[in-house]
Amino acid sequence: MTLVARRRGGRHHRAAPAEAPAYVPRHRRLPGVDPRAARLAAESGLLGLIAGLAVVAPWTREGYLLLLDWVSGPNQAITPGLYGLDPAALDALPYRLLTDAVRSVVGPGATSWLVVLCYFPIAASGVSALAAGGRWRRHSAALFACCNPFVVERVQAGHVAFLLSVGLLSWLLASAVRARRRGTWFAARPAGWYAMAMAVGPHAAWLGGAGLLAVALLPRPTRKDLARTAVVIACAACIYAYAVTVLLSAILTVRVGGQDLEVYAPHAGSGGMLATLVSLRGFWRGAADSSPQIGLGLVPAAVMLAAAAAGLARLCRRGPLAGAPLALLAAVGLLLGAGIEGPLAPVYRWAFDAVPLFAAMREQQKWVALTMLAYAVGIGVTVEALVGACRKARPSLVRVTATAALVMIAGVYAVVAPSLAWGLGGSVRVTQYPQSWHTADQIMGDGDEAVLFLPWHLYQPFAFSGSRTVATPAAAFFRRPVLSSDAVELGPVRTNSVSRRMAYVQRLVAAGGAGAFGRLVAPLGVRYVVLARDREADLYVWLEEQPDLRRVLRTPELDVYRVEADGTGRVAGARPGGYDEAVALAARRALGTEAILETGPAREPLPSAASGDLRRTSSTSWDVAPGTPGWVVIPEEWSPGWSAGGLPSAPTAAGTVAVEAGAEGVTVHYEPWRWLRLGLIASVVSLLVLLAVGVLEHRRDLVRWWAVPYPEGPSPPQAPPTGRPPRSGPVPSRHSAARAGPR
């Protein structure tokens, strides 16, 4: 070891051993990468992969995974929301594009469980990087990020995109802490992780923003910390370029109001709201059939809380740059997770009404994701300290106590694991759709004309889903376009939809078909009506009485009716009116194919018998062949964005698009898609640029690598396991280091 002699008052004194030279860990092929830290993070990721495989293993069999909000089927494709045609699917479009690309490569069945699997290694390696330290700390934290009540609830709910964004947030926090330690004015890696998380789920914008602010403000922020955080947020926000296009193009979005806060409030368990949230539970569905029935019990929950609190307190003392922000995020997650049921209820209601885009956090318990990440690191620190006590403590009583504490912490994992492993404890299996569904699809074939699926519910149980409530999977199964309900039907919130077509069908179903169901749904482009007989079949007996429906299939599971009426294409005639006028005309058999327009004069012939001469050429355009001049009905959701070269257009009573065309052919296309496509390209390019800059940021360490010596012998000394920062000291030059020799 090199000893430094200092001269004081003309005398030479033998000083204490000098600090080891400061260095930047170097990988042979990746300068700036600490090989040990990278290896431990990879080990944690492998541990997470093993845990994930233990969860999805039974889902890898032939079949399709059906969860509450995550369903799959043989003909699953990208949703119309990509083009701005589905108001309920405008979020996380880059993620939807990637998922569709994976689906085209490995198939929809494999994609359904593969995306679920991705969360586990991503979260495990990210939490490992955030926790730092040795194997015991990192691997314990990684395992907790994979196996805890919060993850169990979200997997069973099918909130796959949200879980993926939470896994990416762990990497965001880790890179933000590293950037603050380096003290640079700009850090590309936090911006890249933040953008990736937001590209997967919109909730990450608020969760990640809270994490970045916590890291910047604690402890004792500098102007450089604040400026760096502001730049990171601004750069990552470019991922939402397409959202600006949505707003500027006046594309319809879902309607969210104050009642949504009541519906999506966290569900308090038997122990009360605080105990529920502290134990990482509180999913709003509560004891519904699609919610996991997992309870830690008083003792395991107390052990989990005590271990997390002790670890965060220890980290705050020995590593405040990571400990202080995580302790704050644990508290913020609980306070905001309580939402309107907690002490910050007035603030939460105000933000929901006044802060732009805060409506994305209508489900308040999602804030507990921050608490879960903080818990994971805290438990990892506690496990590391207990293992150290078991190895080094002199009094046997201390070792016995530490061992008992480790056993109790292991018991927390043991309590949660059975509810998560092997397909959520065997409660969820892959689905084989009934043969009747395949027969119905063969009868209907493919084509532009749609299938109307009943019962008219967004969520409903099926016999083949094990009677669990899932999102209606018809659109993922049938080859034809499918119209199914988008109404959430939760207490006072019957629907968040702003779709005119959905409201029109809802009124028809409530009226028992109104006596001419086929004629009335024909303007929607519906050719077949499918009724699943798993439940509520008795409520739809009126289908048998409709004169314009012909049953083509009857099975115990499914009925299929063919619509004998037409109502799209060149219908020529038009009359003014709305829903009531259309129903009245159809009841007395006076309604033909003519368009029922909300405004405008009547146009002969009335009733009309013309239709057709219409062909879809892409997801956002239709070709109208030359024919009789008059009105043309396009079976798409009404929007002023539909354009036919300046020809007059108007909404129909059914909520579709009507265009007044001449005898020549015309193309009707959706104008906002052109701008939305540019916004999507800008979002994807922004993400790729941030990722590229983040990679290049690693290469910048190459400069420091050349300037700072790297030992040729054994590995450089590691930081002490206590997590205390090394003492600062002068960095010797390359030449002085070369001259220094062993004493």
Continuous segment of H or E residues that includes residue 454: strand 450-454
pLDDT in tens, 627-668: 999 999 999 999 888 999 889 999 999 999 999 999 999 999
For the chain, what is the mean pLDDT? 86
Strand partners for 666:
624
Picking from 251, 266, 173, 317, the residue whose alpha carbon sits closest to that of residue 725 is 317
pLDDT in tens, 92-134: 567 888 888 899 999 999 999 999 999 999 999 999 999 999 9
Q: What is the pLDDT of residue 702?
A: 42
pLDDT in tens, 514-564: 999 999 999 999 999 999 999 899 999 999 999 999 999 999 999 999 999
Angle, helices 160-182/108-131, rounded to nearest 10 degrees:
30
Classify residue 663 by burial, with Cβ atoms within 10 Å: 0-12, 13-18, 19+.
Answer: exposed
Confidence band, pLDDT 50/70/90 cuts, at residue 491:
confident
Burial 244-278 (b: 16+ CB within 10 A, else e): ebbeebebbbbeeeeebbbebbbbbbeeebebbbb
Q: What is the pLDDT of residue 258?
A: 84
Contact 89, 96 (CB under 8 A): yes
Dihedrals φ, ψ of 165, to 5°? -65, -35
Biggest CA–CA distance in the chain, Å, is: 117
Q: How far is it, in rounded angstroms, from Cα 265 to Cα 280?
A: 15
Q: What is the pLDDT of residue 662?
A: 93
- pLDDT score of 27 more than 50: no
Q: What is the pLDDT of residue 495?
A: 85
- pLDDT score of 609 more than 50: yes
Among the ranges given (289-298, 375-384, 454-463, 630-639), the one the predictor scored with the smallest mean pLDDT: 289-298
Task: Tally the residues of the chain.
Answer: 743
Q: How far is it, in rounded angstroms, from Cα 735 to Cα 568?
A: 84
Picking from 395, 391, 394, 342, the residue whose alpha carbon sits closest to that of residue 364 is 342
- pLDDT score of 735 more than 60: no
Angle, helices 368-392/108-131, rounded to nearest 10 degrees:
50
- pLDDT score of 410 more than 80: yes
Picking from 339, 296, 87, 104, the residue whose alpha carbon sits closest to that of residue 206 is 339
- Domain coordinates in residue numbering, the chain: 35-429+687-693, 435-563, 569-670
Continuous segment of H or E residues that includes residue 597: strand 595-597
Q: What is the pLDDT of residue 357?
A: 84
509 C-beta neighbours (distance < 10 Å), count? 19
Confidence band, pLDDT 50/70/90 cuts, at residue 380:
very high
Q: What is the pLDDT of residue 15?
A: 38
Q: What is the pLDDT of residue 191?
A: 93
